[in-house]
Chain A
Amino acid sequence: MDKELDKLIIDDTEYLTEVPEHCRKPFEGPGDPSEIKAFIPGTIVEIKVSEGDSIEAGAILLLLDAMKMHNEICSSKDGLIGKIHVSVGDSVKKNQLLINLIIPG
């Protein structure tokens, strides 16, 4: 009972109470479309583009082996392939940056 209490604001009133760790995470909005990230941990099996390639929205950039599936990682925007951060055979973690996309405009 002697633990330091946190502050929680509801309808402009500040309450002194415990706020468990899992309730403290800030909201993560939709990601930056210029950063192509792994949505799931896995292994890179094929990279279908090279740095400098011009691609259209929906283009398959690479294949990620996870959950017994070759998952197609696509671009949501038109653009140019910037830096490619991974090679075939790499194990990647969830949310790891794979490719930078240069989006014109």
Chain B
Amino acid sequence: MSIIMKSVNDFLTRLSSKLKGGGDKAIEKQKKKGKNTARERVEDLLLDEGSFLEIDLFVEHSVKDFGMDRKELAGDGVITGYGEVHSRPVAVFAQDFTVAGGSLGRAHSKKIVKVMDGAADAGIPLIGINDSGGARIQEGVESLCGYGEIFYRNTKLSGVVPQLSVILGPCAGGAVYSPALTDFVFVVDKISNMFITGPQVIKTVLGEDITQEELGGAMTHVSITGNAHFYAKSETEAFNTLKKLLSFLPANSGETPPVRKSIPPDQPLGDDVIPDNRRQAYCVKEIIRGIVDASDFLEVHKNFAANMVVGFARLAGKPIGIVANQPRVLAGVLDVNASDKAARFIRFCDCFNIPLLTLVDTPGYLPGADQEHAGVIRHGAKILYAYSEATVPKMTVIMRKAYGGAYIAMCSRHLGATFVASWPCGEIAVMGPEGAANIIFRREIAAAENPEEFRQEMIREYEEKFANPYVAANKGYVDTIIRASMTRETLIKVLSRTGQSRKGHPHGNIPL
């Protein structure tokens, strides 16, 4: 055999050993938990077939303490490299639980850091797949250094390239903060677990009993904490949603999102799509589906703060971000969680040149001590900040109620909306007619012969005078009044005039 062929054979032997990760036994254990291996996740579930270019497979750790010098860890417990999703390049890392529990040591973190720097250089999205027992204890402070360097890069990359995290196993302690710094977090039922201090710690320190699922399972994080944005029943479903999300996003903040062919909605809106009675609820997602291309709406944070709906769709083929009050839940009020949810989404869209469409039907802020003490002033301010800061095209449609401070907050002309339309049943007022009449005519009502009759009369009078879009339109705060059925057509005209890009300064997407 020639020397060259010998070296090739030697290489192939080394390669096949590295590609096995933690070996057959560990892989079997991984499978028993219903999990795919890191390599399957990257090559089969995420990337286009054959597109993966792996780097640093031959990296080894250099730890000598605690018998580590005798341990060979394939790829040091993480797979890193580049590939394509629907023919568009991405950078990826996937922690390999079969190798030392996916624990993060110095070499492991250096590999992640390298691929993060690669994503920044190339201006392409970064996808992180987390499945790790945490810090590699044997490496001490070197492991902590690794986390810190990753957090630093997550922050520097924020608003520059999209960063997506998929939690496919444990992600505990300091490790949770890398996903938390990224733009979107995906979790899978019975597989994902995130917490700062695990159930064990809670039991010994505080005497509380709680299951791992209750404390930091997938459903907990999409519904209670809001730490995760997308919930899936399986790993395959999570990756399919991730790929769909990527289809709305540009590769970096200097580009505009990819444009597709325009497809009309399945069920276009009629003029009478919402109930006559302002007290009656309806589902705003039905309205969204009646406006956007192919009635296709990718909802973000579906289970968290459901009184506010946010997500991605297309108008005439162009991606847009939608922020909408949901009258179906809590009458569509603004509250602490809805404010955080909307503000972060608005800022993400502004980072990546995604125009915003705001659909308004809100009676105001949620009253009560609970909200006031939870800091609704501080949290509510984030929506005002995010909308005022955003310089992508901002289109607003007032569907029905737009009352008081909530009217201002929901991308009013006063916060720099590019275009504001109202449907004929829009009500732009300081508050609802009942509350307003009770305050304005308090004395007259009390003095009236029949107070209730007089009160109703005054409510009707206020309704006629103020509960309409014409007062605001007279002042030019509303640009136009349109029938609901004309909404899509009108918004497409606006978009073709305004273009897509952010006009202001670039900024990061700080977790809110």
Contacts and interface: CB of A to CB of B under 8 A. Distances in A.
A17 B329 CA distance: 6
B50 interface: no
Instruction: Name B's interface SS.
Output: loop
Interface string A1-41: 10001001011111111111001010100000000000011
A17 B366 CA distance: 13
A12 B206 contact: no
A57 interface: no
A15 B363 contact: yes
Nearest to A43: B207
A54 B281 CA distance: 59
Interface in A82-99: 91-94
Interface in B262-288: 278-281, 283
A10 B329 CA distance: 14
Interface residues on B, range: 20 to 34
A41 to B, nearest CB: 5
Contacts of A11: 363-364, 403, 431-432, 434-436
A14 B333 contact: no
A41 B329 contact: no
A96 to B, nearest CB: 10
A42 to B, nearest CB: 6
B328 A17 contact: yes
Given A25-B370, A27-B370, A66 B205 contact: yes
Given A12-B434, A17-B281, A20-B329, A41 B363 contact: no
Contacts of B402: none
A9 to B, nearest CB: 8
Contact of B333 (A10, A91, A92): A10
- Taking each of A5, A14, A17, A23, which has the highest tally of chain B beta carbons within 10 Å of its own beta carbon? A17
Nearest to A28: B369
B170 to A, nearest CB: 23
Contacts of B283: 1
Given A5-B281, A42-B207, A19 B432 contact: no
A68 interface: yes
A92 B432 contact: no
A23 B330 contact: yes
Contact of B330 (A1, A17, A94): A17
Given A10-B367, A11-B403, A11-B431, A17 B331 contact: yes
B327 A41 contact: no
Nearest to B369: A27
B67 interface: no
Contacts of A94: 208
A10 B206 contact: no
A40 B329 CA distance: 33
Nearest to B436: A11
B306 interface: yes
B330 A19 contact: yes
B227 to A, nearest CB: 16
A24 to B, nearest CB: 10
30 contacts: A1-B328, A8-B330, A8-B333, A10-B333, A10-B363, A11-B364, A11-B432, A12-B434, A13-B278, A13-B363, A13-B432, A15-B327, A17-B281, A17-B328, A17-B329, A18-B281, A18-B329, A19-B330, A20-B329, A23-B330, A23-B370, A25-B370, A27-B368, A41-B207, A42-B207, A43-B207, A66-B205, A66-B206, A91-B207, A92-B207
Interface of A: 1, 5, 8, 10-20, 23, 25, 27, 40-43, 66-68, 91-94
